Structure 1
């Protein structure tokens, strides 16, 4: 059986598990819809258990051609059943919060729903039974189909975050090109880096781009990823944006003169990464400005045509045996920080490296695959045999392809389905972690448990994919490695596209651009697509607008018009229209969106035309995630939003015109993250007050704003302390200078479980009284930004004995724009014994801080018990 058949089976498992949980819970709790359809649901439970057992235990490789159509049929049945169960849950919600169950059940609409749903359930069960019979014809009599759930990736992110080095064997390459760049020869303005995929071209360019000597040498730096499917307009707009200029209002013909004007006044470094071809007329005009260019490409003739002299074209060599072994150790032995202490594993590892051809990407990927198996030499040997067999097939990048295939095949089911989601993003697209995680949660690919929420697990899954070298981290929090944004190497993307096509999650043309088909389940919508074609994609479950990939994110030419065809996407679970510029009235758009009753994730962040969220939002009873951040003109949320009982995340952060949230927010008892909560005065009864938060017992993350009109009553002071699951608290004081604001904050009592605290724009010389090690006894990370405080309380003392009894348990500390802070850097280690990460910038009054570090961000990490400057 081919890779696609195995992956298809496994990628369906998360959805299947979610459906099974719905049925089991409904039957156990005797939900009304479970009572109404008990025989059908009880039968469905048995059949779902069979399918889970089949997918998780049976060796599908033996009958690939036979099982392929059966698996396609199984997938369609699973999604149809999921739609029916979702509709039952929605009807349950309406009955609970509308007319009584009895009166609804015997109403014309109720009778129609009962009849049609019962008919659908019987039809689904009959079709599954038929498919079951076909499957059993090929099963061995002794096959055990008992389902055993996988581990759902329950691996905590290590507090001792470790990131392997990526420049082993490339140090000389970097120094050589750096010499060309910073040398005295002003005539050298072009450098080329050429080589096959996976050789390390982009890694070298990125290290040079971020080098401090290089940064000091140039006034401006620009990074442009060109890729196969570039457009001149997208490249030029991207350059202008990095030069700090808005592109709105410029026609295409005006872009190049604007760039030339900006470059004429600056000594600029421009990296053109992954160039396949280039319009020489446009390029020649740009090169006349005197900037310095680094060009990476797989084709030497492309680099030559772009004006790079032969003597300034560098081709990285493959790594030699010892360099390859050193790089493999960094990834395979991450537990021991890159050190191998087992001769048997070294022998097997060096055998594997014989087929890697010295290609860094192949070595890193196979090393990451071997890492979880360091306790099993036999598994290393087995992987080595498979790798040798695969790496001998194909061209000179066969080792990379082989390592990627083995790494994918080794993924558990839940990570397979998560990785395939990346296939819809355009080449070299920057993917925000929150966007992809919330998609996974919205579609039901991740299920939370008693210890962790689905969102928390999602970020862990992302870290696991990064640790396996299947995604490339672009931006992450240095303290613990939490990923903010990432990309996908084009070779990994090619692999995920092949699998996604086989599984009909999406369809792609010969250039790997996504296109509309009737069976597509996921779609990344780009500016060159026609919205009217959506009417032929009624099975879509996820629709994401690729706005930052568009030709013109700031111009009217980038706006699109989603008409009534949006209403046809009845299976849609995920709708991400962030940064949408629409030619349709936003009110009409909302009507269409609110007809998508099964929708679970809605993202309208950055939609500038959105002024009000109307009462229609209350119809989306299946909604779990609502993101409205950075909607600068949003002024009102209708109280109907409090009807969304399933909501786990509400984000209205950075909506500058939104003065308050509606009264009744306490009804959202499943809320786990709330961003943009505003503390208001008590006069307006329509406004949500702090007191309401006491009922949000599931809250893990709270981001709140306080201003000069904020007010905290006596009975609200302890509200936060009642939120026993709260882990992250962010307070933005909005640059207020009113004394009452500081008095209000002083009165709060923080939750004892708090792990991370962020205080921003706090213009007072003294921090809130409760920011001390005794009251924040579980705090691991503290960030103070734009804060005027002079002191940070280092310990608390016993009132009777006058001795220190509490010290901080902080592991991470970030201090930024604290002009008046009087803090001795040398004493930090003594007062914060657990501290292992410190970041400081723009703290002019700190003692024992080098003058050169008082402006630029500086990072210290613990090394052998001592904080050592690392950046």
Structure 2
């Protein structure tokens, strides 16, 4: 019997007693779960059969005291188990990195001038991982020390690890309850949403805002120029929670702004108690949300130590009342047939991953999505990172209330339904990292309320059924656009990009000239390669693997034959943020003249062949305040030239640009202007 797989039933038959005796004699470490889930129920069973004698009454009192002490012990064991997983994960990353670096050192011909930099980069990555590992270990040690010191009379010496000041849990709960009572309108249920996330989780603001939109806590069509977007309203809520000390910002690197947040464990416990009181979620005794929706309108998919329980989810009449279904940490979504058929009132289906970890979530097939035809109230659907979904069923077009559709990282998705234009209320559509989509349906141009579109593909096909970039210029509310251009379609892209000058409301633009938007995790590439290989065997319609599946050393050079750069009419663009991935040319095109980008504040360039940030070698100045430069091997300039180009620069991030060596940047390649 493994350490994690235990007998959890009571002693109702002699066979269980024999199983337990065999387990105890095996010499394995006896975890808390055996005592709590096996021995304690047996005590209860024996006492319940006794009479009302003084001895039995005393035994009941002792049992109650023991049960009170078991709750904090259970939470401590759960934290230790989580810490153990985090430490194991960090060590695995360190080991994989070591193997990867060793492979590179053997296969890449490094010049002597580059070997020192290669070694320094390797050590910096190792230091970063070891630092995070130390934080994880020390954090767990402090928590365990804090709990054990409460029951210990042993004095602490100055050299020993001092626990933090004891937190008055009752006081924290009272304070959070008072804050909760003072919140206005929809801010109360917005706060309760934090109860779903695990302890110490880093939560992206975007995930919560989309959830709030789905629930109807935030609702705006953003059709007027002065009307706020859902992001602006959501940011106000976050600002208020920050000011009240409920959450704290989480900064990536040393960036001046944070798009994620965290919640202190004691505050999280208080929010869970509020959510339990309001029947916002159903929780187990450890404060973890459950899949039980019999007493709440919301349920969670939670993977336990024993494994997945999605297949065992029952078909109940109460499913008709479910408003939200949130995937907390389930990787295998193997739903029973027709399980979604009764969920006619659901508004939120967060089935994909909500965190940045790029693990894949698997489904058996697309059959479960047929239940979408009954979900007329659905407002938010996330399938982020879900594999084996090759196409969305046409029934999704009946979800006329749908506001947000997140398909990010659906690596098997090949096309969108043609009738997508009927989703008139859709404001956000994310298809980023959907590598197999080769064209866009014409119906995209009918989504008049669309504000955010990620993963738009400029197709090489000339059919009338494909949506062109020019068709999107009619979408008056579009403010954020992400485009993918196949590196072999430069001439087609040149014609398409001419229409960018027509996008008057566009504030953020991202363009990728590569089949690989970002360097996916190794397991993702392996999964994609396996899928393509299966299709080759089954259909025999592809004669060779696309370059995105080649080994890195076999990828063709990102540089392209000299061609005419995209020529866009010299009309100013109103962009505030520009993100270029794998730009294939060495010099800036005409449409990237600083004079045409007078409102630009953020410039991010990742990969490609760019060697100069000036236009035709002419010195110029940008209005940009934030610059990120990553993996630009040909870009070369000194610090004085950089400051001359960006006189308003406040933040600079340089990652693996071999010809840029700014001593003003820290070890992470970050420079920030001092206040």
Match of 2:338 among 543, 551, 564: 564
Are the aligned partners of 1:618 and 1:641 in contact in 2 as well (CA < 8 Å)?
yes
Match of 1:439 among 186, 211, 218: 211
For 1:215-294, list aligned pairs within 5 A: 228=76, 230=78, 238-244=86-92, 269-270=133-134, 271-272=136-137, 275=140
Are the aligned partners of 1:227 and 1:428 in contact in 2 as well (CA < 8 Å)?
no
Match of 2:246 among 459, 464, 470: 470
Are the aligned partners of 1:651 and 1:675 in contact in 2 as well (CA < 8 Å)?
yes
d(CA) in 1 for partners of 2:150, 2:338? 46
Q: 1:406 to 1:679 in 2, by over 3 A?
A: same
Are the aligned partners of 2:493 and 2:566 in contact in 1 as well (CA < 8 Å)?
no
Aligned-residue offset at 1:754: 0.6
Match of 1:734 among 514, 518, 521: 514
Report which structure shows greater RCO (CA 8 Å, sep ≥6): 1
Are the aligned partners of 2:418 and 2:442 in contact in 1 as well (CA < 8 Å)?
yes
The residue number in structure 2 matching 1:768 is 589
Are the aligned partners of 2:498 and 2:566 in contact in 1 as well (CA < 8 Å)?
no
Q: Does 1:792 find its partner at 2:613?
A: yes
The residue number in structure 2 matching 1:128 is none
Listed one character per residue, the Cα deviations across residues 685-721 of structure 1 (whole Å, up to 9, x for unaligned) are 3322222111121111101111113544887444222
d(CA) in 2 for partners of 1:771, 1:514? 50
Aligned-residue offset at 1:463: 3.9
Match of 1:453 among 205, 229, 233: 229
Q: 1:807 to 1:274 in 2, by over 3 A?
A: closer
d(CA) in 2 for partners of 1:534, 1:582? 25
d(CA) in 1 for partners of 2:449, 2:505? 12
Are the aligned partners of 1:672 and 1:701 in contact in 2 as well (CA < 8 Å)?
yes
Are the aligned partners of 1:705 and 1:733 in contact in 2 as well (CA < 8 Å)?
yes
Q: Does 1:575 find its partner at 2:349?
A: yes
Match of 1:759 among 553, 558, 580: 580
Are the aligned partners of 1:227 and 1:427 in contact in 2 as well (CA < 8 Å)?
no
d(CA) in 2 for partners of 1:455, 1:784? 25
RMSD: 3.7
Listed one character per residue, the Cα deviations across residues 428-459 of structure 1 (whole Å, up to 9, x for unaligned) are 33433222111111221113353421133224
Secondary structure, counterpart of 2:339 in structure 1: helix
d(CA) in 1 for partners of 2:201, 2:467? 39
Q: 1:690 to 1:757 in 2, by over 3 A?
A: same
Secondary structure, counterpart of 1:719 in structure 2: helix
The residue number in structure 1 matching 2:49 is none
d(CA) in 2 for partners of 1:567, 1:688? 33
Q: 1:518 to 1:851 in 2, by over 3 A?
A: closer
d(CA) in 2 for partners of 1:500, 1:584? 30
Name stretches of at least 5 consecutive residues in structure 2 with no aligned partner: 1-73, 96-125, 354-358, 516-556
Q: Does 1:315 find its partner at 2:162?
A: yes
Are the aligned partners of 1:718 and 1:749 in contact in 2 as well (CA < 8 Å)?
no
Q: 1:836 to 1:785 in 2, by over 3 A?
A: same
The residue number in structure 1 matching 2:262 is 487
d(CA) in 1 for partners of 2:428, 2:369? 19
Are the aligned partners of 2:601 and 2:626 in contact in 1 as well (CA < 8 Å)?
yes
The residue number in structure 1 matching 2:541 is none
Count of aligned positions? 507
Q: 1:699 to 1:858 in 2, by over 3 A?
A: same
Are the aligned partners of 2:480 and 2:507 in contact in 1 as well (CA < 8 Å)?
yes
The residue number in structure 1 matching 2:384 is 605
The residue number in structure 1 matching 2:663 is 850
Secondary structure, counterpart of 2:320 in structure 1: coil
Are the aligned partners of 1:722 and 1:751 in contact in 2 as well (CA < 8 Å)?
no
Aligned-residue offset at 1:789: 1.5
Are the aligned partners of 1:540 and 1:571 in contact in 2 as well (CA < 8 Å)?
yes
Are the aligned partners of 1:837 and 1:862 in contact in 2 as well (CA < 8 Å)?
yes
d(CA) in 2 for partners of 1:582, 1:838? 35
Aligned-residue offset at 1:491: 1.9
Aligned-residue offset at 1:462: 2.6
Q: 1:496 to 1:781 in 2, by over 3 A?
A: same
The residue number in structure 2 matching 1:841 is 655
Aligned-residue offset at 1:569: 2.1
Q: Does 1:650 find its partner at 2:429?
A: yes
